[in-house]
Amino acid sequence: MNATLKARLAAGETLYGTLLTLGSTEVAELLAVAGFDWIFLDAEHGALDPRDVLHLLQAVAGRTPCLVRVPALDEAWIKRALDAGAEGVIVPQVGTAEAAERVVQFAQFPPRGRRGLGTARANRYGLGVAEYLKTVSDRVVVVVQAETVEAVHNIQAIARVKGIDAVFVGPYDLSASLGYPGEVDHPAVRAAIAQVSRACREAGVRTGIFAMTAGGLGPHLPAGFTLLAAGVDTALLGEA
């Protein structure tokens, strides 16, 4: 049996992915066979509603695991993404340990969390509930994004929240929060990223980051970033 994305992440494997923002099942299928370790479904900046997410997950089913970035720290969105069969969620703009704890609560079933249980694609529309409940805690990946000055300030506490699998740096939002919008290579931005990396390493939590190109990920590999995303479907198409 192939290892789950969660197990590969925990083992420290370097996992390469890309962002999918278009609601095209054909593009999703193409990315699913392109050789990526994972796909980043972006419902924060992409114009994707829950039905789009469901259809994209159906299009790549069994080929490439997907993490859904929800639009915000929203219980209903997290529930819907996981019920649709996402391998996990990425939650943006998480600036405190209290917010990170809410993410875990919304993503996990009792007694650890408060996720509701209903018939959905993830449990074969109710036909596989018992099987799903046995394996879900070993499969669902919970990722929070550190992309603000507040998050950097609180990163030690955020990284120590039980149930967080990875902290994902959003370098562009972080650069804006620091007062250098778009300047992801500014010394202040690099220092903040290093601070996040260091705190997560000390807490034993994996780190991820985005870059517009594969080459842009290079400097982050020695720092221990393993959940990597390069490029966006729209940019890849526009530049082709």
Give CA–CA dist 114/106, Å, rounded: 6
Query: How many of the other CB atoms lie within 10 Å of CB of 166?
Result: 25
Nearest by Cα to 154 from 96, 73, 202, 91: 96
With a CB cutoff of 8 Å and minimum separation 6, the contacts of 124 are 132
Q: CB-side exposure of 109: number of CA atoms within 13 Å? A: 15
Distance CA 156, CA 104 (A): 17
| Residue 45 appears among annotated catalytic residues | yes
Which of 45, 55, 153, 220 is catalytic? The answer is: 45
Contact 55, 27 (CB under 8 A): no
Residue with token string 């018992």? 130
Residues 209 and 217: beta-carbon distance below 8 Å: yes
State the chain's maximal CA–CA distance in angstroms: 53
Burial, 130: exposed, middle or buried (Cβ in 10 Å; 0-12, 13-18, 19+)?
exposed
> Tokens 């998480």 correspond to what residue?
94
With a CB cutoff of 8 Å and minimum separation 6, the contacts of 160 are 97, 203, 205
Active site residues: 45
